Amino acid sequence: MGDERTDGERMERLRVAAVDAILGEPFRVLDEGFVRVVDYMGDDAAIVQAARVSYGKGTKRVHEDRALIRYLMRHSHTTPFEMCELKLHVRVPMDVWRQWIRHRTASVNEYSTRYSEAIDAAQATPRDAWRLQSGGNRQGSSGRLPEDVGARLSEEEAALQRRAREVYEARIVAGVAREQARKDLPLSTYTEAYWKIDLHNLLHFLDLRMDAHAQQEIREYATLIGDEIVARWVPIAWEAFLEYRREATRLSRFEIAMVGALACGDEARARALATERGLLNATDDGRLKPSRERQEIEEKLAAFGLRAPWST
């Protein structure tokens, strides 16, 4: 519907010149990783067409299309974004791929180390890139180790990776089945996959994996996909995504009440709300107990130029 064809007339495949210009070109990530576009379907106009169901070509102006896409994004009308799809070829360390593959809304075909020999590449960590375990986030990092310590760790890493590869290749030469020979390869070993996903689910992936709390390595992949590929492919949808999701702040009912109290200058009310919420529970020495929710609220208040009433 809405393609304005006559019977027997062949419909031309939609093209996005900015994406055609990078088809097959690898964008480098980390030391040995890459992302490249294999194929795509749809563009900003496809989102608009799906939302309107049917309309004549040229009957809507660009600014009207932009307004509609922004409306859809703003009000979480997701189905029209599913009309666009992107197929990527990625090379990524196995430990990062474990996080990536948790997004179960894509079609995936991964390189098989049962069928073929494992890729002879492993992610190396520079001496200044060893991160410290975060004290307040069990799955995160914060700060870096001194370079002299990092230098030793990097040397040990390189030796471990070389030895693991040597053992693996010796097993292959000895005739060990590939499916068994691979079992002691490190998680830093690169794997490759074709990954096809619709725009709605891709934006969800990017929203999570571009976040500052995501692991740095997968954040580098996500940021590249967003800034270098999606921004070229669907620039209007990408602009709306950044404004209404990626760079927006979502408030809970409690947070709205907190912002409202502080905006009116009623710090006592704001503090009472926090106390009722259990955010100001203290230890025996009078210090506030650690609270992820309280920290998140502080960050949101700061975005509004407001200071948390319990801050000193």
Q: What is the pLDDT of residues 18-73, one digit of tens each?
A: 999 999 999 999 999 999 999 999 999 999 988 886 444 544 566 688 999 999 99
Higher pLDDT, 11 or 220: 220
Confidence at residue 155, expressed as pLDDT on a 0 to 100 scale: 97
Confidence at residue 59, expressed as pLDDT on a 0 to 100 scale: 46
Distance from C-alpha of 242 to C-alpha of 240, rounded to nearest angstrom:
5
Contacts of 237 (CB under 8 A, 6+ apart): 44, 47, 69, 73, 81, 84, 199, 203, 230
Distance from C-alpha of 96 to C-alpha of 126, rounded to nearest angstrom:
17
Share of the chain above pLDDT 90, in %: 80
Confidence at residue 178, expressed as pLDDT on a 0 to 100 scale: 96
Share of the chain above pLDDT 70, in %: 92
Distance from C-alpha of 97 to C-alpha of 92, rounded to nearest angstrom:
6
Nearest of 27, 28, 24, 25 to residue 38 by alpha carbon = 24
Quick: pLDDT tens for 87-143: 999 999 999 999 999 999 999 999 999 999 999 999 999 999 999 987 767 777 778
Look at residue 225 and tell me whether its pLDDT is greater than 50: yes
Name the pairing type of β-strands 85-93 and 190-198: antiparallel
Please confirm, yes or no, whether 209 is among the known catalytic residues: yes
* Cα→Cα distances 276→218, 230, 286, Å: 38, 44, 18
Confidence at residue 308, expressed as pLDDT on a 0 to 100 scale: 92
* Cα→Cα distances 163→5, 168, 169, 186, 218, Å: 62, 9, 10, 10, 26
Helix, strand, or coil (residue 115): coil
Average pLDDT, the chain: 91
Look at residue 298 and tell me whether its pLDDT is greater than 80: yes
- Out of 91, 209, 271, 294, the active site residue is 209
Distance from C-alpha of 109 to C-alpha of 38, rounded to nearest angstrom:
13
* Cα→Cα distances 231→16, 51, 78, 268, Å: 12, 21, 18, 45
Confidence at residue 85, expressed as pLDDT on a 0 to 100 scale: 98
Confidence at residue 62, expressed as pLDDT on a 0 to 100 scale: 60
Confidence of residue 13 (pLDDT cuts 50, 70, 90): confident
Distance from C-alpha of 33 to C-alpha of 92, rounded to nearest angstrom:
5
Helices assigned H by DSSP within the chain:
17-20, 44-52, 62-74, 94-100, 147-173, 178-181, 199-209, 216-224, 231-233, 235-241, 253-263, 267-277, 292-303
Look at residue 218 and tell me whether its pLDDT is greater than 60: yes
The CA-based dihedral angle spanning residues 256, 259, 260, 261, taken in that order and rounded to the nearest 10 degrees: 120
pTM metric for this prediction: 0.88
Confidence at residue 10, expressed as pLDDT on a 0 to 100 scale: 63
Of the chain, the end-to-end C-alpha distance in Å amounts to 62
Report the pLDDT averaged over residues 258-262: 95
